[in-house]
A and B are shown apart, each in its own frame.
Chain A
Amino acid sequence: MADSMINTPQSPGLWAKARNLPLIPLAVLLIVFIIPAFFAEYLAPHDPYVPNLRARLQPPVFFGGTWEFPMGTDRLGRDILSRILHGAWYVLAVSMIGITVGVVVGTTLGLVAGYARGWFDGLVMRLVDISLALPAMLLALALAASMGTSFLSVVIVVGFALWAYFARQVRAEVLLLRRSDFVERSMVAGSSHTRILFRHILPNVTNTIVVLATLQVGIAIMLDASLSFLGIGIPRPTPTWGLLVSDGRDFIATDWWISFFPGLAILLTVLSANMLGDWLRDKLDPRQRQV
């Protein structure tokens, strides 16, 4: 009896599943990142762009400031909190679109390469190797020098940094799947290649893609923040988080809050995104746990 209790896999009820959700990272992600991204206009107490010279360099509340500017103001008197809230949308847009580019390009190439094999497979894997061997920062520098910077150039860099991981992983899974019974039977039944790829194979790699994409959110946000910190991300005056940190760089000795709070926002967002990604991986794709 004791044995059966141990060995019977218990199908967890909805409540148990909900209880296992990492609530704290989820809440942090919502509060710091997702809600501000969509509702900054209603949440922000001040205009993030308009200078207010009478309120220059106000310290944050509890550090000699007032609730009017909870996180203090920068050297032009702009409210730090409002700038962070408004920046969230751009951070979200760049990372999501960049990841989508990476997912679409990587998955498509990985699917076709793993399914078709032959010279196309060889070509794609070559490109994957090269792409993984090229630090995205070099591409970012080259793009910034030749095209100048824009929303598009940042998205290109993020997509470029990520696509190869998806292509490699998806291809590896397709190689296994295409030899499985259900795919071979579908072939015998006369399904077209497109149907097999998208009806039978793609649904089976979706979990992998979702897990990998979640784990890349942190990388994408970090890359975007580094680029805008260096001044080769989305150009001014857009208050992306990296740019906000760089605004306070020269004032750290006296007015630490200008850099501190935007950096904290990046840290909390990336940290909770990483924790959620780890959790999702354990749930959906236990094979990747060792990575």
Chain B
Amino acid sequence: MFRFLVTRISSSLFALLIITVIVFLLSHLSGSPVDALLPDDATQEQIDSFVREWGLDQPLWQQYLTFLVNAVQGNFGTSLKWPGEDAMGFVLDRMPATLKLGGLAILISVVIALPLGIAAAVYRGSAVDHGAQMFALLGQSMPNFWLGIILIWVFSVWLGWLPTSGMGTFAHAILPAVAIAWFQVSALARLTRSAMLEVLDAEYIKLARVKGVSEGMVVWKHALRNAAVVPLTYFGILAASILTGSVVIETVYSWPGMGWVALEAIRGRDFPVVQAVIIAYAVVYMLSNLFVDLLYVVVDPRIRRG
């Protein structure tokens, strides 16, 4: 188990390192980083001190090291669009909003998808099963930004139940969280269904039934515990698509999180903030993957020994 975790952590760190290389190279791709990272009306003095601070008169690999050392300390320079704001600090300020939305989306998708997938597997071939499969197919083909707009149309404009956009009360978070969760529900339900089908066929399930274990216990304890490993695999992907989803959905709902900042920064050509957002996203993503690995260990004893 220890070796397993060490391998995972080191490969996460390696991937993170690659991301810093990509981000660093991209900031040089567009020409001089001075143009990308300083405002257009910077004085010669500012440029000189900037060049000295970031070692831009040094060879490329040394510049990268400087960048990396600064990045580790969270120093990505100051924002161009929001003057005086520290780039990373500004992004971190927005992070709780994104995490709140992502957490709610995960909660919604698990609460709906797990029972749906289990019911579809237990009542295989029934109306529930067909309904769940139709829903899964539809959910995976629906663009989430479009769904977001349609939800606003139906629930805010037409029915007037929920606010259209912005952040504030809990009601503000419902529509965006549902829009993000929609796709995950269909994917997760589909995976849960196929995993449960496989497990429900196993010998030890038959044995449990023969022994007279109640059907509820068989499904929810014996079968689910083993089937749960498969949906867990999906949680790694889930983190990625919630991240992607948050960029899109925060734009739809003007939810002031990291995704919204990223888009605003790109429109304002604010490269320090873009760099900070990408690295912050990557770190969140790697951490959530590590968390999934830990969950694996909890759920599946085979990994603990292997």
CB within 8 Å of B: which residues of A?
129-130, 133-139, 141-148, 218, 222, 225-226, 229-232, 242, 245-246, 248-249, 252-253, 256, 259-260, 263, 266-267, 270-271, 274-275, 290
Contacts and interface: CB of A to CB of B under 8 A. Distances in A.
A97 B141 CA distance: 21
Shortest 10 CB-CB contacts between residues of A and residues of B: A263-B146, A271-B141, A146-B26, A145-B274, A270-B141, A137-B244, A135-B240, A146-B30, A253-B157, A229-B145
Interface string B181-197: 00000000000001000
B136 to A, nearest CB: 10
A130 B18 contact: yes
A252 B263 contact: no
A138 B263 CA distance: 11
B269 interface: yes
A249 B248 CA distance: 13
B262 A245 contact: no
Contacts of B251: 229-230
Interface stretch (B47-55, B90-98, B212-220, B278-286): B278-286
B242 to A, nearest CB: 10
Contacts, number: 123
B23 interface: yes
A230 B143 contact: no
Given A129-B11, A137-B244, 14 more contacts: A138-B282, A139-B22, A141-B266, A141-B278, A142-B23, A143-B26, A145-B26, A225-B145, A245-B143, A245-B145, A252-B153, A263-B150, A270-B141, A290-B194
Nearest to A133: B15
A259 B141 CA distance: 17
Contact of A146 (B29, B247, B281, B286): B29
B208 interface: no
Interface string B1-19: 0000000000110110011
B149 interface: yes
B143 A242 contact: yes
Of listed A143, A230, A231, A245, residue having the most chain B CB within 10 A: A230
A259 B149 contact: yes
B141 A229 contact: no
A25 to B, nearest CB: 10
A267 B36 CA distance: 38
